[in-house]
């Protein structure tokens, strides 16, 4: 479902406008930021159309400086669909209700940067919180709502596994979701090359991942103990219905709100609040803050938030 945008992307800054004008002039001359001839015509108006479509569909506010990025990511789609230029591709997208192409369009424009134990200070805080919750509840529910290729939810799962050794009887469910179906499929596999897992401290890597064999010789595979607590679903945070059952003890929503404008962030936060347990925690990314939503969440420091009705400590 495509929600109707109620707020347009934020107006560009002067620097962004100058960059956009420079890129638009390059584009009309058939060149990119460099002097290389472009394969497909890509006018400033096409870029504006892409910006509006991805904002309406996924809430992503693309800065006006992202023309080259948009060109290179979508040029592949034009090639695959045998399109002559961007205008033709976008006409097709808008007119055809081609769900498969919409999915590929959105997947092409997401940014999926992530890593194991990114922002590592969050994980001891998570363990501490979960141990406190476990004193009164056998079932713990966690939602990781921008899971990307899975490094974040597997870091959560490793933290859980270390906090509750086998036989503790503690039950933990981790719902892992993302808008992008490609990254989610890769997260669900739980298989990573050595370069990706190298940030996992030695002991934890050996405990929670096994070394692949044969065709997977250089890969590390998440062990079943981790995977058993995890489930995977495509969820667009902008869509009106989330298939998420509360109450949740923890929501990880890190490094995705930065792509949304403040009104969109606020609407999402207002929907997180009733899903959380009274004592629940919301983990945000390092450059995100929710000071514009103090009526909903208050900061506990270190980009961790609690529901606003609760006083800290």
Ligand X SMILES: C[S@@+](CC[C@H](N)C(=O)[O-])C[C@H]1O[C@@H](n2cnc3c(N)ncnc32)[C@H](O)[C@@H]1O
Q: Which residues are catalytic?
A: 73, 178
Does 186 bind ligand X (CB under 6 A)? Our answer is no
Burial classification of residue 99, based on how many CB atoms lie within 10 Å of its CB (0-12 exposed, 13-18 middle, 19 or more buried): exposed
Among 31, 61, 85, 111, binds ligand X (CB under 6 A): 111
CB of 139 to ligand X, least distance (A): 24
Rounded to an integer, what distance in angstroms lies between the CA atom of residue 114 and that of residue 153? 11
- Only one of the segments 167-175, 179-187, 199-207, 223-231 lies at the binding site for ligand X (rule: CB under 6 A); that segment is 179-187
Task: Please name the residue that has the structure tokens 């009733």.
Answer: 274
Among the listed residues 129, 62, 126, the one whose alpha carbon sits nearest the alpha carbon of residue 254:
126
Does 150 bind ligand X (CB under 6 A)? Our answer is no
For ligand X, the closer CB: 67 or 114: 114
Among the listed residues 11, 235, 291, 298, the one whose alpha carbon sits nearest the alpha carbon of residue 106:
235
Does 255 bind ligand X (CB under 6 A)? Our answer is yes
Does 1 bind ligand X (CB under 6 A)? Our answer is no
Among 26, 141, 148, 303, binds ligand X (CB under 6 A): 148
Q: Nearest residue by C-beta to ligand X?
A: 114
| Residue 7 · residue 40 · CB < 8 Å | no
Write the interaction track for ligand X spanning residues 43-62; mark x where CB under 6 A is met and - where it is not.
---------------xxx--
Question: DSSP H helical segments within the chain, as ranges?
Answer: 14-28, 44-58, 67-80, 86-96, 99-109, 122-134, 151-163, 181-189, 194-197, 202-208, 224-227, 262-272
CB of 184 to ligand X, least distance (A): 8
Rounded to an integer, what distance in angstroms lies between the CA atom of residue 146 and that of residue 127? 20
CB of 111 to ligand X, least distance (A): 5
For ligand X, the closer CB: 146 or 276: 146
Query: What 3 state SS string does 30-52 have?
Result: CECCCCCECCCCCCHHHHHHHHH
Does 63 bind ligand X (CB under 6 A)? Our answer is no
For ligand X, the closer CB: 223 or 234: 234
Does 110 bind ligand X (CB under 6 A)? Our answer is yes
| Residue 252 · residue 151 · CB < 8 Å | no
Contact positions vs ligand X (CB under 6 A): 58-60, 110-114, 118, 146, 148, 152, 178-180, 183, 236-238, 254-256, 259, 285
């Amino acid at each position: 479902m495509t929600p109707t945008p109620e707020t347009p992307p934020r107006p560009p800054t002067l620097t962004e406008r100058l960059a956009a004008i420079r890129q638009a002039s390059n584009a009309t001359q058939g060149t990119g930021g460099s002097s290389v001839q472009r394969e497909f015509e890509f006018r400033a108006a096409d870029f504006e159309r892409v910006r509006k479509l991805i904002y309406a569909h996924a809430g992503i506010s693309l800065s006006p400086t992202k023309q080259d990025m948009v060109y290179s990511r979508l040029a592949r789609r034009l090639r695959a669909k045998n399109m002559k230029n961007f205008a033709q591709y976008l006409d097709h997208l808008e007119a055809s209700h081609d769900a498969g192409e919409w999915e590929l369009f959105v997947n092409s424009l997401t940014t999926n940067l992530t890593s194991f134990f990114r922002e590592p200070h969050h994980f001891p805080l998570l363990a501490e919180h979960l141990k406190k919750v476990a004193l009164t509840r056998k079932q713990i529910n966690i939602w990781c709502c921008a899971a990307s290729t899975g490094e974040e939810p597997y870091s959560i799962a490793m933290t859980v596994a270390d906090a509750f050794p086998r036989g503790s009887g503690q039950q933990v469910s981790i719902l892992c979701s993302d808008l992008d179906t490609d990254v989610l499929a890769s997260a669900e596999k739980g298989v990573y090359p050595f370069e990706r897992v190298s940030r996992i401290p030695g002991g934890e890597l050996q405990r929670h991942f096994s070394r692949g064999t044969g065709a997977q010789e250089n890969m590390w595979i998440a062990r079943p103990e981790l995977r058993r607590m995890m489930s995977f679903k495509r969820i667009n945070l902008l869509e009106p219905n989330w298939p998420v059952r509360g109450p949740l003890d923890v929501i990880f929503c890190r490094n995705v709100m930065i792509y949304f404008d403040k009104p969109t962030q606020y609407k999402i936060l207002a929907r997180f609040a009733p899903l959380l347990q009274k004592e629940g925690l919301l983990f945000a990314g390092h450059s995100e803050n929710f000071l514009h939503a103090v009526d909903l969440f208050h900061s506990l420091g270190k980009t961790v938030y609690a529901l606003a009705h609760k006083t800290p400590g």
